[in-house]
Amino acid sequence: MSDTPDTGAWRRLRARPSAVVAAAVLAALALLALGAPLLTALEGQDPTTYHDQLVDSARGGVPYGSFGGIGADHWLGVEPGTGRDLFARLLYGARVSLSVALGATVVQVLLGVTIGLAAGLGGRLLDAVLSRFTDVLLALPMLVFAVALTAIVPAGFPRPLLLILVIGLLSWGGTSRIVRAQTLSLRSRDHVAAARLAGRTPVQIARRELLPALAAPVLTYAALLVPTNIVVEASLSFLGIGVTPPTSSWGQLLSTATTWFRADPLYVLLPSGCLLVTVLACTVLGDAVRTALDPRERSRLAVGTRRAAARPPKGATR
């Protein structure tokens, strides 16, 4: 093909219906998050106002009415204990959760890939230094860091950015280990050896020969970092460095909702459903991007499917 690889990948990506759907879902989530003020205004609610009269105080603050108080006024019901509008809290929560989770994932992937590649391609000394540094980071519980941070970070520091930095800078160990392992096994392969013999620099080798092959595990892993980061965000707010109340986030909603899954199932299902949809969309899109980046995609598609398995003539495999 005469296309440049990039446009080819883009075309292949667009040609996959699952990729288009996944991208559309993520775009819709982003739109909902951005349009939160507008949509909640449409509903006539806001995310912070209490409605004491909507919850049954004697029964632990469970919302009156079925399905967590769903109705014309509160489209997705209200939060137990406070009576705050769930639709509004969910939409506003998406802003924090999506930006923090995606932002932190990007930081993790960038750091992880760079450090993992450097460790895998560099000399023995560089590998040892980087790998031992990764060990230190892996062994230190984020908790210890986070507690120390509470004392250093000024109160005015923008919380979402702080969260992106904390999560991103502290937990790239998994990514870097995967990248290093893959690099170690790839660098002795023929095409990499050939490139090295041809006098390519390690950076060139990394970009041309390794990154395409690394895309599979990295994209796969990164998609799964997203939900973890959303939950970590919630636990950090527990230490006082998460989002400040009354701001909501999916993680915050989930962590207060856990005990309610029998008394008010919708309260749990809504944030966890949002989380699941995000993860699914990220995974599908990650998969699609990976295959689209890879020119051998078509042959791979055929592999292992029933069609492919049926292809060899009957007599060939005893």
Looking at residues 88 to 107 of the shown chain, list those that interact with other proteins (rule: CB under 8 A): none
Name residues whose C-beta falls within 8 Å of residue 256's C-beta, 6 or more positions apart in sequence.
79
Amino acid letter, 204: Q
Q: DSSP state, 55?
A: E
Question: How is residue 255 written in tokens?
Answer: 């962590």
Give the span between the Cα atoms of 215 and 209, in whole angstroms: 11
CA atoms within 13 A on the CB side of 140: 16
| Residue 197 touches other proteins, criterion: CB under 8 A | no
Tell me, residue by residue from 125 to 164, as one string, x for binding to other proteins by CB under 8 A and - for no binding. --xx--xx--xx-xxxxxxxx-xx-xxx--x---------
- Binding residue for other proteins (CB under 8 A) from 1, 4, 198, 262? 262
Contact flag: residue 314 with other proteins (CB under 8 A): no
Does 261 contact other proteins by CB under 8 A? yes
Q: Which residues contact 308 (CB under 8 A, 6 or more apart)?
A: 302
Give min distance, CB of 257 to other proteins, in A: 9
The C-alpha atoms of residue 225 and residue 220 are separated, in whole angstroms, by 9
* Residue with the two structure tokens 């970070």: 153
Least distance (Å) between residue 95 CB and other proteins? 18
Nearer to other proteins by C-beta: 156 or 199?
156
Q: How many residues bind other proteins (CB under 8 A)?
A: 101
Question: Which 272-311 residues touch other proteins, going by CB under 8 A?
Answer: 272, 275-276, 279-280, 283, 287, 290, 296, 299-301, 303-306, 308-309
Residues numbered 167 to 186 that lie near other proteins (CB under 8 A) are 173-174, 177-178, 180-182, 184-185
Task: Confirm or reject binding of residue 8 to other proteins (CB under 8 A).
Answer: no
Place of tokens 């932190």: 104
**Of residues 17, 154, 199, 312, which one binds other proteins by CB under 8 A?**
312
Contacting other proteins within 18-77 (CB under 8 A): 48-50, 52, 55-62
Residue 26: partners with Cβ closer than 8 Å, 6 or more residues away: 278, 281, 282, 285
Nearest residue (CB) to other proteins, 39 versus 253: 253
Chain positions 223 to 252 lying near other proteins, rule: CB under 8 A, are 223-224, 227-228, 231-232, 234-235, 237-240, 244-246, 251
Rounded to whole angstroms, the Cα distance separating 241 from 31 reads 27
The interface region with other proteins, picked from 21-29, 96-104, 203-211, 217-225 by CB under 8 A, is 217-225
Length of the chain: 318
Q: Do the beta carbons of residue 166 and residue 149 sit within 8 Å? A: yes
Q: Which residues contact 193 (CB under 8 A, 6 or more apart)?
A: 187
Pick 66 or 150: Cβ nearer other proteins? 150
